[in-house]
Amino acid sequence: MIGTLGTAPLPQSEIQGRLDRLLGEVQEASGQQVGYPTNQNFDYSALMPFLEYSLNNVGDPFHASNYKSNSHAFEREVIKRFAGLLRIAPEEAWGYVTSGGTEGNMYGLYLARELFPNAIFYFSEETHYSVLKNVRVLNARYIMIKRQQNGEIDYDDLYDMVRVHRDVPAVIMATIGTTMRGGVDDIERIRAMLSDLAVTNSYIHADAALSGMILPFVDDPQPFGFDAGVDSVSVSGHKLIGAPLPCGVVLTKRAYVERVGRAIELVGVQDTTLSGSRSAMGPLMMWYAFARYGNEGFRKLVTGMLDTAEYAVGQFNERGIPAWRHRNSVTVVFPRPPDDVIRKWQMAPEGDIAHIITMPHVTRPMIDELVADCAV
């Protein structure tokens, strides 16, 4: 029987027993995790000594803080690296390491709301579930746009809705790799649409949780960065990079942030982020991953993931299962299998479809076993 926490300390044997059981459950589950985009191939043992200290990246990473036990210097390097990947000059970029994609999306939408308080927010029904929550928290007006069958936003519906409200600033929530189907919204087409409608006050935030670390490392990427017309972008750290705790990064233009920051005497730093106290381990982990892999290492990693995805599509199709994926996507979509298969492989189903995501820990033997289960 599992004990519960009470007022008295638990015996050390019971504490260790609880932890050992949890570790065993996690180890067993990790061997059949193909449905969610979290890279489990990482080793941050070099960072373990930092867990002996109370590190805190409170406030803006680009300003000195009275709290000296921080990793702000490493965080700035992470932001600079992402600026290069997402195609914005480092001197024009500002960002910080977040707790994950939801916070990154919230920050981008918060900036847009501060720049255009009376804006209407537009996002697809395929958009990540955090976005509807975020716009409600911001108490912003919004219109949900239809999605296409492939997961991209319905551009005709978006055009019609913006045209009706063309006198109101437009905030567009685009997705670079949708959660379920891996669709990539066409940023350049959306920008051209806004120009055609003469909407001069607009803002595009891109949720690039997974594909923001894929498209920079392929030869022929879809438009995805600041050069394509985004104003801010959120990328996850625990997905392709891999981490033992959720983390991510949000990147935007420095000029926007200067309009919302304020000085906080208590900690001697600019308050420009959403959270006050922030994890210092997330920046360290992403810095360490970039330091170990380099751009060529990530390119090799991405190439391997895409090769595995193509292998998976082929194996499904050979067994008569109509699987498919988008170009430059590691999300493989196929008809929903029985519930016991979904539970075994920890898949993410939606209606009559399911998907697998070929993260680096997903091997071809795992694909073979999964396909065999689905073909029964």
- Confidence tier at 265 by pLDDT (50, 70, 90): very low
Pairing of strands 232-236, 202-207: parallel
Give the class (CATH, top level) of 49-291: alpha beta
Asked if residues 331 and 357 have their Cβ atoms less than 8 Å apart, the reply is yes
Dihedral Cα 285, 346, 215, 253, nearest 10 deg: -60
Please tell me the predicted confidence (pLDDT) of residue 43.
Answer: 96
pLDDT exceeds 60 at position 277: yes
If you average pLDDT over every residue of the chain, what do you get?
94
Q: Which amino acid is at 256?
A: Y
Mean pLDDT within 216-221: 98
Q: Rounded to whole angstroms, how far apart are CA atoms 169 and 167?
A: 7
Q: Which residues contact 184 (CB under 8 A, 6 or more apart)?
A: 152, 175, 176, 177, 178, 211, 215, 222, 224, 326, 328, 329
Task: Give the position of tokens 């036990």.
Answer: 69
In percent, the amount of the chain with pLDDT more than 90 equals: 90
155 within 8 A of 190, measured Cβ to Cβ? yes
Instruction: Tell me the pLDDT tens digit for each residue of 185-212.
Output: 999 999 999 999 999 999 999 999 999 9
In angstroms, rounded to a whole number, what is the distance separating the alpha carbons of residues 245 and 282?
Answer: 8
E strands, the chain, where? 93-98, 120-124, 141-145, 170-175, 202-207, 232-236, 248-253, 262-264, 269-271, 331-335, 353-357
Task: Using the predicted structure, report yes or no on whether residue 2 has a pLDDT greater than 90.
Answer: no
Q: pLDDT tens digits, residue range 103-157?
A: 999 999 999 999 999 999 999 999 999 999 999 999 999 999 999 999 999 999 9
pLDDT of residue 1: 44
CA dihedral 288, 292, 294, 298 (to 10 degrees): -90
pLDDT the model gives residue 376: 83
**Residues 42 and 242 sit within 8 Å (Cβ to Cβ):** yes
pLDDT band at 269 (very low <50, low <70, confident <90, very high): low
- At the topology level, CATH places domain 32-44+294-375 in Aspartate Aminotransferase, domain 1 (3.90.1150)
pLDDT at 149: 94
pLDDT at residue 266, as a whole number: 47
Tens digit of each residue's pLDDT (9 = 90 or more) over 87-99: 999 999 999 999 9
- The residues annotated as belonging to the active site are 329
Q: Which pLDDT band holds residue 247 (cuts at 50, 70, 90)? A: very high
Distance from C-alpha of 108 to C-alpha of 50, rounded to nearest angstrom: 30
Secondary structure (3-state) at 176: strand
Confidence tier at 163 by pLDDT (50, 70, 90): very high
Let me know the angle formed at the C-alpha of 35 by 33 and 41, rounded to the nearest 5 degrees: 45
pLDDT in tens, 281-333: 999 999 999 999 999 999 999 999 999 999 999 999 999 999 999 999 999 99
DSSP letter at 230? -
CB-based contacts of 217, cutoff 8 Å, min separation 6? 295, 298, 299, 301, 302, 303
Residues of the chain with CATH 3.40.640.10: 49-291
pLDDT of res. 137: 96
Read off the amino acid at residue 262. R
Considering the chain, tell me which residue range(s) the CATH 3.90.1150.10 domain(s) occupy: 32-44+294-375
